[in-house]
Amino acid sequence: MACSMATRVALYEAGVSASFCEVDPKTKLTLDGQRYLDIHPLGLVPALRTDDDQLITENAAILQYVARRFPDAQLAPSDELGVARLQQWLCFIGTELHKAVFAPLLNPHAADAVKQYSLDKAAARLALLERHLQDREFLLDRFSVADAYLVTVLGWAVVTPIKLADYPALTRYLTALRTRPSVAKALAEEQRLYGLELARHRAA
Amino acid sequence: MACSMATRVALYEAGVSASFCEVDPKTKLTLDGQRYLDIHPLGLVPALRTDDDQLITENAAILQYVARRFPDAQLAPSDELGVARLQQWLCFIGTELHKAVFAPLLNPHAADAVKQYSLDKAAARLALLERHLQDREFLLDRFSVADAYLVTVLGWAVVTPIKLADYPALTRYLTALRTRPSVAKALAEEQRLYGLELARHRAA
């Protein structure tokens, strides 16, 4: 259910095989027993290891890498302005939504003042998205990796004080995207894994 | 001196002409009298208006647009892995440094708890960069728009509690880059404009 779910959606869209390896957020161990901090010193997911053993980190970079590697899936535009618009949305979601609003709200160790500071930023950012999605099915003209990222981030609202119901276009967008096969499959898989993680933590 | 300075550096590197329009951070008016919130509802700089009247926002998108539009300046790699590495650094600087660490530290309205939360994130992120730049002149094999962004962001440290002197590789990188003609010219120009802005605010 972390932002790495966006990459899972993109890989399902492309219909390619990939090995997924879960990182326990508490122990920072992968479920096959590696210290994830040896792989990524900040412990952030996702990290993608390519077939030729290159490690790529940072969500926007990985999503665009997947889109370029599997062009048949049409997960990113290729015209000059389309590329700029895709990068604009990926950057907006990563900086203004994910890091500025949601990351502190989801952090159990963040003080109330920190959460309030982030919450104060939410309305203007969600209103901008609400206007953009008013008469659109996707952020761009068709589904792209930016939608894979946005559907993941908006899904976090339910465990924060943010009420998505106040944003009808966003609610409609999220509801519709969750019926898309790649998103539905990724969500079901990650919900199952999240349930197992909670059970593991209870047992520990 | 905002993150829009990175775009100025990139345009100077490309040697192309562009009109720059300053936004007063207090009034959110442009110096030629437009309401900037009508141009960008969040009031964030930079925003780039192209010759065919398209408005592009978000730093990482604008920097990559400039790099693609002026390929002779070689401001971005074109090979598959190089593109991924560029996007990885742009995303890291934008999310982990700019938004997670520096934006709250630079905000005069952020509470002490918010600033401390951001400051606590600084060491691990700067240490990651320090290791990467240990034996490198640039983030990638040659100067790229990611360096234009990083030199801008690291320049902010001086008005925060972050001591760049604790990071010798970062200090050397920043010192060297500031002698690069595009960076030196952008810095001199923005320092001049910043001085005028402070004088305007004092007079107001």
Rounded CA separation B73/A136 (Å): 37
Mean pLDDT of chain B: 97
For residue range A82-132, list pLDDT tens digits in order. Answer: 999 999 999 999 999 999 999 999 999 999 999 999 999 999 999 999 999
- Name chain A contacts of B56, Cβ cutoff 8 Å: 84-85, 88
Do B100 and A96 make contact, defined as CB atoms within 8 angstroms?
A: no
pLDDT, mean of residues A169-188: 98
**Is any Cβ of chain B less than 8 angstroms from the Cβ of A104?**
yes
Contact A32, A73 (CB under 8 A): no
Residue B128: strand, helix, or coil: helix
A117 touches chain B (CB under 8 A): yes
pTM for the whole structure:
0.98
CB atoms B56 and A94 under 8 Å: no
Q: Is A58 on the interface with B (CB under 8 A)?
A: yes
End-to-end alpha carbon distance in chain A: 21
| Closest Cβ opposite residue B124 in set A42, A95, A110 | A42
Mean pLDDT over residues A126-144, rounded?
A: 98
Average pLDDT, chain A: 97
Residue B202: half-sphere exposure toward Cβ, Cα within 13 Å: 6
pLDDT digit string, tens, across residues B22-48 = 999 999 999 999 999 999 999 999 999
Instruction: With CB atoms and an 8 Å threshold, state whether B91 touches A125.
Output: no
* A contacts of B62 (beta carbons < 8 Å): 84
CB contact under 8 A, B60 and A87: yes
Is the CB of B95 less than 8 angstroms away from the CB of A99?
A: yes
Shortest CA distance from A120: residue in chain B? B110
Q: Give the C-alpha separation, A110 to B202, whole Å.
A: 37
Test A91 with B60 for CB contact under 8 angstroms: yes
pLDDT band at A204, cuts 50/70/90? confident
Q: Pick from A54, A88, A110: which is nearest to B56 by CB?
A: A88
Interface test with B, best of A87, A98, A121 (most B CBs within 10 A): A87
Closest CA to B43 of A100, A87, A124: A124
| ipTM of predicted assembly, 2 dp | 0.97
pLDDT at B204: 87
CA distance B72 to B134: 29
Residues B155 and B130 sit within 8 Å (Cβ to Cβ): no
B79-82 contacts at long range (C-beta below 8 A, 24 or more positions apart) = B80/A65, B80/A68, B80/A69, B81/A54, B82/B140, B82/B141
Residue among B59, B81, B124 minimizing CB distance to A54: B81
For chain B, say whether A125 makes contact (Cβ under 8 Å).
Answer: yes
Q: A196 and chain B: CB distance < 8 Å anywhere?
A: no
Report d(CA A51, CA A49) in Å as an integer.
7
A87 and B127 in contact by Cβ < 8 A? no
CB atoms within 10 A of CB B197: 17
| Average of per-residue pLDDT across B142-164 | 98
